[in-house]
Amino acid sequence: MSIKPGFFFRGRIEHDPEGKFRILQPSSIGSSGEVTAEELPLVSDISPREYHVVDDRSVLFVAYGPRNRAYHFGHLPDNVVASSTFYLLRPRPRQLVLREEVVLPGYLAWYLNQPIAQAYFEALRGGVSVKMLRRDALGSLELPLPPLEVQEKVSEVARLSEVEHQLTRQLLKMRRLFTDTLLLERIHQP
C-alpha cells in the first residue's frame, strides 16, 4: 500500500470556472461523508502528480485537525485532486498481489474509522496548535486482513449502514417539520 500526501497549494485556492481540476478538501465533505463533485472549486494553474488525483482505489485520510477520518469515494470524476490536508492511501491492485495480502479500499476506510484505529492515531498525533498525524505513524498501524469476501461484506454493510443513517436523519427532520407545521396551524386557528 502506498501513502502519499495530497497536493500542496502555496496560496489560497481560487475558484476558476474554466479550471481543469476539482479540489477536494475536508471542508467539502458532508457530515455523512458525502461529496458533491459539482460543488468542488475548480483550478487550472496546477500540475498535480498522478498520485494526487483521487480514483476509485484511493482512500483519503485527513491528516490534520481534530479528527483523523478516512473516506473512500467510488463515484468522483477523473479530475479530482486531494489537497495536502489528506494522505492518499492506495492499496495495491489485486492482480499484482501474489498472496492474500490484498486490502479493499472500502474495508480500509471503514477500519481506519473504527475506535481501535482512532485511539491508535490519537496516541501518535503531534502538533501544538494544529494536531497532525505523520505518514509513518499512519503506515505503522497493524491492519487485520480477513479474506476478500469478508472485506467485501464489511465494506457493503458499512456503506448500507451509512445510507440507513442518512435516511433516518432525513426522516427525523421531516417528522419534526411536519409536527411543527401542525402545531403552528393549530395555534393560528380560532
Q: Which three cell numbers stand for residue 59?
A: 482512500
Query: Cβ distance 87 to 63 under 8 Å?
Result: yes
Percent of the chain clearing pLDDT 90 (strictly above): 59
- pLDDT digits 0-9 by tens, 120-177: 999 998 887 788 899 998 988 999 999 999 999 999 999 999 889 989 999 999 999 9
Average pLDDT, the chain: 89
- What are all long-range contacts of 139-146, with beta carbons under 8 Å and residues at least 24 apart? 139/1, 139/3, 141/112, 141/117, 143/103, 143/108, 143/111, 144/111, 145/100, 145/101, 145/102, 145/103
Whole-model pTM: value is: 0.82
Query: Given this model, what pLDDT does residue 95 score?
Result: 46
Q: Which three cell numbers stand for residue 70?
A: 478516512
Q: Is 134 helix (H, G, I), strand (E, B) or coil?
A: coil
- pLDDT digits 0-9 by tens, 89-129: 987 655 445 455 689 999 999 999 999 999 999 999 888 77
Give the HSE-up count for residue 24: Cα atoms under 13 Å, Cβ half-sphere.
31
Q: Which residues contact 78 (CB under 8 A, 6 or more apart)?
A: 53, 55
For residue 86, list its beta bridge partners. Answer: 62
Phi, psi of 23 (to 5 degrees): -105, 125
